[in-house]
Amino acid sequence: MPAFYNLSNKKNSFDIQIRIDGHLIDNWSNLIYSAKVNSARAISFEAHGHIPQEILQLGATVEISAGVGMIAKTKGLLHFKGVIKILGPSFDVVTVTALDYITHLSTSEINNFTVEDSQGHDLYYLAANAANYKDIDTSGLTAGSDIFVNLDTVKSNLTGLKTRKVFIDACFDEMSLFQTSDEYPANTYLQYKYAIRSGTKLDFFLPDPFNVNAEPIFTFSERNNNLQKGIVGSIDTSRIINSCTLVSSIDETIFETYTDTSSVETYGVSSSLLKYESTRRDRLEQLAYQIVELNKFPTISYNLQINTLEPINLGDIVKVHIPSLERNDILSVEEYYLVINEGITATYTVGQKRLTTSKLLKVL
């Protein structure tokens, strides 16, 4: 493609520009974006023709801009800034692969995180402070989560020698909120996520697809005829728990069991035996009930492919409507994969993974 590549169809009309260390790439093709929550966003493309060796270097900065006539503000979804990690040279084509600045967190120097650094602090701000590194824009991380670190959490996850990303991931592992209001189904939890969704700006976000008032920004539907190759769904029963026994780790003669008979009749029995540091039978019974309620149904996810560029980003809420299967699910975007060449192919993975049982016991 030429340096200023115009891609247009009925819904999209914009130009794309690629620079490496400020040098415009005159001719390129096969631009691919790959993004996943809690991970670095990756891009790759093929650079054609003669490109000076000093430009194509590992560690060089790649910036991709996009906009209507290159005058309007860069489209957020396509704005990328990162560093070259892989080069694949051949006779007249070089394949370039780059990662956004989250890669700096993964390869940072090792830090010694102590109890004093974390105990009593909001996990959101601990993660934001660790992410403030090597030109990552953390200026928008001001909301807080009101989830504070207790001594058990510090000792188990947040202390010791770690890279910045390992510490941030440990913070986010603990950043779950349970919702008990009438606006949510029983025992609903929400999980914080993070990503650089545009340029170098790091976002912390809390996808909320379960609220009865959730408003999807896009509907994938057979009726709308907006799916290129249909819908590939995954309804996974492998992690169902419909019978749970909680045993006191202090006195193993004290235990309680809760079983959901409807789930057992539908999916077969799938039991779990867990220990918890309490001798209160009512507490053990409550935990067994909550764990079953959270895990008695299959997990649902979809891969959805369309041939237009929609303003859909990580964490956004979408609806998947499949009349033939009587499905009408509202889910958050966990991954996307964009291929831009002569046209556009966009593939989205939507659906939320289930909390592990050990983590459930921490947050219930």
pLDDT at position 143 over 80? yes
Query: Average of pLDDT values for 220-236?
Result: 68
Residues 24-82: tens digit of each pLDDT: 998 999 999 999 999 999 999 999 887 767 788 999 999 999 875 544 444 588 999 99
Query: Average of pLDDT values for 134-147?
Result: 96
HEC states along 307-349? CCCCCCCCCCEEEEEEHHHCEEEEEEEEEEEEEECCCEEEEEE
Cα 224 versus chain centre, distance: 26
Give me the pLDDT at residue 70, please.
46
The two three-digit tokens of residue 98, written as one number: 């780059």
pLDDT at position 359 over 60? no
Give me the pLDDT at residue 4, please.
46
Give me the pLDDT at residue 1, please.
60
Task: Name the helix (H) or strand (E) containing 201.
Answer: strand 201-205
Is-contact 128 139, C-beta < 8 A?
Answer: no
What are the angstrom distances between the C-alpha of 119 and each of 153, 157, 222, 364? Answer: 8, 12, 50, 20
Give me the pLDDT at residue 354, please.
57
Burial environment of residue 177 by CB neighbours within 10 A (0 to 12, 13 to 18, 19 or more): middle
pLDDT at position 98 over 60? yes
Three-state secondary structure call for residue 111: strand
What is the per-residue burial (b if ≥16 Cβ within 10 Å, else e) of 220-233? bbeeeeebeeebeb
CA atoms of 306 and 253, how far apart (whole Å): 56
Give me the pLDDT at residue 225, please.
61
Task: State the residue for tokens 């340029």.
Answer: 199
Give me the pLDDT at residue 11, please.
43
pLDDT at position 285 over 80? yes
327 Cβ partners below 8 Å, 6+ apart?
Answer: 233, 320, 321
Mean pLDDT, the chain, rounded, equals: 85
Residues 245-268: tens digit of each pLDDT: 999 999 999 999 999 998 899 889
Give the best-scoring range by mean pLDDT among 144-158, 223-237, 310-324: 310-324
pLDDT > 90 in the chain, percent? 52
The two three-digit tokens of residue 300, written as one number: 């649902």
Give me the pLDDT at residue 252, please.
92
- Answer with the residue of higher pLDDT: 115 or 11: 115
The two three-digit tokens of residue 239, written as one number: 């992690």
Give me the pLDDT at residue 203, please.
98
pLDDT > 70 in the chain, percent? 85
Give me the pLDDT at residue 6, please.
54
Cα 180 versus chain centre, distance: 24
CA atoms of 358 and 314, how far apart (whole Å): 26
Is-contact 312 318, C-beta < 8 A?
Answer: yes
pLDDT band at 329 (very low <50, low <70, confident <90, very high): confident
Give me the pLDDT at residue 90, please.
80
Burial environment of residue 146 by CB neighbours within 10 A (0 to 12, 13 to 18, 19 or more): exposed
